[in-house]
Amino acid sequence: MEVKAIFLAFGLIAAQLIHVCSSPATVPAFMWSRLSHGTSQDNVKEAVNYQTISPNNLAKFILSEGGWSNFVCTGKNPHHNVDVALVFIGKELQISDISRSNHPDPTLINLLKQSFRSSNVSVAFPYIAVSDENETLENSLISGFAENCGHELEVKNIAYMGSCSLKGQNLKKIGGLRSFQDFIDAKMAGLRGRTDLIVFCGEGSEESIHAESEGNVLSKIVDFLELSGSTYTVLYASNPYSSNLYTSHLAMRFLAEENSSTNSTHCDGVCELKSSLLEGLFVAIVLLIILISGLCCMMGIDTPTRFETAPDS
């Protein structure tokens, strides 16, 4: 009986620890467009999807609720073209950063908020689960578009720039912002035709100290699309957990908190992870106490039921 109880208790403890450790990281995503190409009768504006969904399901929602199926899926609506569908993969933003007043990249925060509020179609996805370490977020999204379209994508080009690592054939590499401008100028000067799907992947601050901020890069891209007269829609998704250096940064944070965060009331991703681990540890300790108490009862050993103060000498 005692052995059975021990295995049961440790099984419960292991289940709690596995639950804590296996919870996937979640990242935010935002989609917006000034065009009215949603699939519903009323435009989807300032909507928030609070479900925890996979990148594949995010692609499905973008196609359906965001209306992207009209111009990236074969045979959907050949007369409803958009010049550029931009997928911007960042590596800095976490969902808790939206409410912060001292984010290191205020340009990015302001751009996302303004675009979300002023666009005809806008949807926020606070909880995108990224758990597949062998697949980049950009690849998951592109394959998700193709899978949920049911066949090949009906786009003119799939182009990429920045630090993207895309898999597939007939991919077009764009060298940088200057090359991006040349690419858009050439498109607008000729027959515009089908949509170009362009993927940009940024670099986290841990990867390149001298890299331009995400907010500045995204602002330049959007500003140029506006000036060129292009019709466009944007999907911004952040995946700070994709960087190995970011993982090392998390490990260092566990060992020694920075002085600047000592008096902060903000709980970031590291704080939330530590909180979950502490909760799991607390549950494990409670179960262990219950196990010891049960064994003592079965063995006829009295256990104290309350704390008593020592008598005065």
Mean pLDDT along residues 5-12: 46
Mean pLDDT along residues 20-26: 59
Which is nearest to 197 in space by CA: 50, 58, 36, 68?
68
**For 158-217, what is each residue's pLDDT tens digit?**
999 999 988 888 899 999 999 999 999 999 998 778 899 999 998 754 444 456 899 999
**For 50-105, what is each residue's pLDDT tens digit?**
999 999 999 999 998 888 998 999 766 555 679 999 999 998 888 788 777 788 89
Residue with tokens 């001292």: 102
Q: Residues 271-275: contacts with CB within 8 Å, 24+ apart?
A: 272/96
**For 34-51, what is each residue's pLDDT tens digit?**
887 554 445 678 999 999
pLDDT of residue 239: 87
pLDDT of residue 94: 86
Question: Cβ(164)–Cβ(199) under 8 Å?
Answer: yes
Which of these ranges, 35-44, 107-116, 127-136, 158-167, has the smallest mean pLDDT? Answer: 35-44
Question: Cβ(86)–Cβ(177) under 8 Å?
Answer: no
Mean pLDDT along residues 148-156: 86
- Residue 243: helix, strand or coil by DSSP? coil
